[in-house]
Structure 1
Amino acid sequence: MSQSKFVYVTYIRTTPEKLWQALTEPEFTRKFWCECWQECDWQVGSEWKLMIPDGRVGDSGKILEIVPHEKLVLSWKNEFKPEMAAEGASTLKYEIEPLESSVKLTVTHEIDVPESKLVDAVSQGWPHLLASLKSLLETGEPLVETTKWPEGM
């Protein structure tokens, strides 16, 4: 089957440890990810949930692979949009590579569904969220547009 795939690479002036913390700890994700947070104990096989500020589960899955400060792979199923939920589970991979004074972050989000609605949606969302993450880590402030959950969603 053909697949849909989104890959995004960015360079952030931070350490692998601080980037890992920002990607996994609720107090950080709330700042740049529209007040959302993740519920997980960050162990292989553990359940993972992305919680929407109103208490709904936005996305869910399981931890498939974890190497702290280097790599995180999880299954990802949308839970709040029926047309995307119908596609089933996708795979999200964060790869963190230390450089001299920065970190290379590669985000890959893919699913074995041609012309995936989910991958189309995340292809619009990830660049803005990752730019906000970069801003938060480099300046202490996220982008304003990603600090609140969009009305009506």
Structure 2
Amino acid sequence: MAESPGTPNLSFTYVTYLGSPPETVWHALTDAEATAAYWGHSNVSDWKEGSPWEHRRTDGSGIADVVGTVVESVPPKRLVSTWGLPGAPHPGGPSRVTFTIAPYGAIVRLTVRHENLADEAEREQAAAGWAAVMSNLKTYVETGRPLPDEPWRMPPGSASPSST
């Protein structure tokens, strides 16, 4: 796709390795209860190409903080969806998130790529968010429980009280 002059095409890619079969990682990405456990939101969809999906709060309100459409769904290898705020136009169209699950022996490489980010601030926000969520996903998949504290709530650059 050609870029318009002055239109940024910013992206962020995060790669992690998990001691898990691909089917377990796929389930963790697409099951509403699993995503609620490690992400603090339920990802709700039937995960068929063309279907809508919602990133719903787990506080019982049913509010979707992120919405999109499933672009590609190839269990347990690849999931692509659009990503945007409900009712908020995004310059250049919605962003796009691609999860690629590549098996290698008893492990998988999980790559998440978030494309079509509006500006550097959005890219930085995506980088911080994906690092936190993928760390929690890795812990959840490998141990059956998420990290004891939500990593996205940790202030940037903060040190533990014992290190000061």
Q: Shorter chain as normaliser: what TM range?
A: 0.7 to 0.9
Distance 1:6 1:127 in 2: 10
Measured against aligned partners, the alpha-carbon deviations of 1:70-127 in whole angstroms (never above 9, x if no partner) come to 00000000239x6xx5444100000000011100000000115342x43322211111
Tell me if the contact between 2:99 and 2:113 (Cα under 8 Å) persists in the aligned partners. Answer: yes
Is structure 2 residue 151 aligned with structure 1 residue 144? no
Letter in 2 for 1:73: V
Distance 1:44 1:6 in 2: 23
Alignment of 1:71-150 (within 5 A): 71-79=78-86, 86-87=90-91, 88-111=93-116, 113-115=118-120, 117-146=121-150
Cα separation, partners in 2 of 1:33 and 1:63, compared to 1, 3 Å: same
Corresponding residue number in structure 1 for 2:15: 9
- For these two proteins, the number of residue pairs brought into alignment is 144
Tell me if the contact between 1:14 and 1:138 (Cα under 8 Å) persists in the aligned partners. Answer: yes
Tell me if the contact between 1:111 and 1:119 (Cα under 8 Å) persists in the aligned partners. Answer: no
Query: Counterpart of 2:149 in 1: which secondary structure?
Result: helix
Distance 1:44 1:86 in 2: 22
Corresponding residue number in structure 2 for 1:50: 55
Larger Rg: 2
- Bigger relative contact order, structure 1 or 2, given CA contacts below 8 A and separation 6+? 1
Please, which of 31, 54, 76 is the counterpart of residue 25 of structure 1? 31
Query: Counterpart of 1:42 in 2: which secondary structure?
Result: coil
Letter in 2 for 1:102: I
Query: Counterpart of 1:141 in 2: which secondary structure?
Result: coil
More moved, 104-113 vs 65-74: 104-113
Deviation at 1:45, TM superposition (A): 0.5
Please tell me the root mean square deviation across aligned C-alpha atoms, in Å.
2.1
Q: Normalization by structure 1: what TM-score?
A: 0.85
Distance 1:3 1:114 in 2: 8
Query: Counterpart of 2:46 in 1: which secondary structure?
Result: coil
Q: Normalization by structure 2: what TM-score?
A: 0.80
Query: Counterpart of 2:125 in 1: which secondary structure?
Result: helix
Distance 2:117 2:28 in 1: 29
